[in-house]
Structure 1
């Protein structure tokens, strides 16, 4: 065995050790109306072999809590706990506090503000040329879910959702709404007692600057970066490795979550995304402990796994 072979094996073992207890809080496994490379059970098996502690499945069109409950019940030998959440898009009725309460009652972990039905996302689609691979082929196009009235006040349904998060401990994630909306909603959420906040991928779609990102972190939000946007080999890559370092250093590893945002066909698997991310972060000079915080501890805290 050559020296390079030995070094490669040592690096592989180091990455595997850092990923023990990892949590992916944002992954697009199936079944879904959009094409997915793995389903929830296949993902749980894949991540269990790698020693992940938990995963939170995310679908733009349904709450996956029933699937998660069935997997945990029928496959107790899996090391990875499977959870889900709900995205407040058209298919669940938009700002639907009843659906949010139901998600919490079934041990859901995250409620995402609108994504494909965010008014900001629909504007971004026009300028980016992106469209959801299922929206125009199988179902009617998304329509914008309003968050504010004509005077700029938050709608009662939105306030109700915030109160449900406060009462149940659900984490509130910003989804694809504009960063200016996120600031207002997170400030109100904090006033109403919401303790777990996630700022979703400031690097794309949501119109965030570095200053915006730091402001939200200073409000108490964990800043969640989608590895799909940063990694070589990802078909969704729009950012560089150097930009990832800028984002991490901006708020520090202690306020950064790295999620895969993967599971789609024709790109890296969620596990490959995490393995590549750890290697990238090591190359950027972060310590094993700092990387473990970003791929495990911070996400576990924000979804309530650690109490």
Structure 2
């Protein structure tokens, strides 16, 4: 699909400055399918959409399984599309929770990231119970699933579980990324402290203001400690079911976490939401309108993610 076709499809004239920044962008939060959650595109279609817009890399995230075998096939058979496809290991109930064997297997297959529990985390489940509108704020499965078993990285005494330490050792040895998943920020402090002690160098917090409950002050400390913070474009894009925030709040969290430690990922792919590439277009324009330079926007949409992932 050429540029004029994309413009016609979206009903807008494409901004050349925005398009230049979309080219080479990296999305570390793509929710394509197949999935038990409703998605508007599959993994190959995500690769093609990214290729048409000139994205450099896309990381596929499914809460139930690692898409690493899929990314291997995509990179091998569709290298002509010019997009590096990545994935990781989500430590939810479907892979046995805090399962060192799932991590070892995933890394040996080529996984580049390990997510601590997301929707299976006790923190995520608590948010679900406390907020009667939570089902409107988080994608639901197409069919009812067995209720999740709540997972936490801490034992009854507030200490990091031994199985988590074994997982951290594997992450450190392979030099892949550790994401805090949907743990509460209070769980991430001891997790990241132990991770550093064991040699983990690549640390990430996904959507720190959503479910994780990190404050602006927390983000300042995370940035000081070298942690990257990824903010979800879907929370700012018009037409998104998960548009919770206004541009001024984006400025606040970027300033708290610094341009050098901020990553903007789409967190899109859900059925009924805007296209992934259009999420990038809108949030890039928003950042430019907030006064960030093209170089700063490039950091937040490409080079910071590249540094974190080692690509």
Give the shorter-chain TM-score range.
Answer: over 0.9
Aligned CA RMSD, in angstroms, stands at: 1.3
Give 3-state SS (helix, strand or coil) of 2:55's partner: coil
Give 3-state SS (helix, strand or coil) of 1:33's partner: coil
Would the aligned equivalents of 2:240 and 2:273 in 1 still touch at CA under 8 Å? yes
Residue 148 of structure 1 deviates from its aligned partner by: 1.5
Tell me what 1:133 maps to: 140
Would the aligned equivalents of 2:264 and 2:300 in 1 still touch at CA under 8 Å? yes
Would the aligned equivalents of 1:28 and 1:58 in 2 still touch at CA under 8 Å? yes
2:85 aligned to 82, 87, 106, which one? 82
Tell me what 2:109 maps to: 106
Tell me what 1:247 maps to: 253
Tell me what 2:125 maps to: 122
Which deviates the most, 101-110 or 25-34? 101-110
Tell me what 1:230 maps to: 236
1:22 aligned to 3, 12, 25, which one? 25
1:296 aligned to 281, 302, 307, which one? 302
Residue 238 of structure 1 deviates from its aligned partner by: 1.1
Matches of 1:65 and 1:220 in 2, distance apart?
26
Residue 149 of structure 1 deviates from its aligned partner by: 1.5
Matches of 2:297 and 2:306 in 1, distance apart?
14
* 2:161 equivalent to 1:158: no
Give 3-state SS (helix, strand or coil) of 1:77's partner: helix
2:50 aligned to 41, 47, 51, which one? 47
Would the aligned equivalents of 1:56 and 1:109 in 2 still touch at CA under 8 Å? no
Residue 78 of structure 1 deviates from its aligned partner by: 1.1
* 2:61 equivalent to 1:68: no
Unpaired segments of 5 or more residues in structure 2?
1-11
* 2:273 equivalent to 1:270: no
Matches of 1:243 and 1:302 in 2, distance apart?
24
Would the aligned equivalents of 1:68 and 1:82 in 2 still touch at CA under 8 Å? yes
Matches of 2:125 and 2:118 in 1, distance apart?
9
Tell me what 1:4 maps to: none
Deviation string for 1:107-166 (max 9, x for gaps)?
Answer: 21111111101100000011223245218x342011111312211221111011111110
Deviation string for 1:208-227 (max 9, x for gaps)?
Answer: 11111111121110111011
Give 3-state SS (helix, strand or coil) of 2:88's partner: strand
1:258 aligned to 242, 259, 264, which one? 264
Residue 202 of structure 1 deviates from its aligned partner by: 1.4
Would the aligned equivalents of 1:262 and 1:273 in 2 still touch at CA under 8 Å? yes
TM-score (norm 1): 0.93
Matches of 2:187 and 2:225 in 1, distance apart?
14
Matches of 1:243 and 1:106 in 2, distance apart?
39
TM-score (norm 2): 0.92
| Residue correspondences, number | 296
1:285 aligned to 283, 288, 291, which one? 291
Tell me what 1:169 maps to: 175
* 2:44 equivalent to 1:37: no
Matches of 1:249 and 1:233 in 2, distance apart?
26
Deviation string for 1:82-110 (max 9, x for gaps)?
Answer: 11111110000011111112211122111
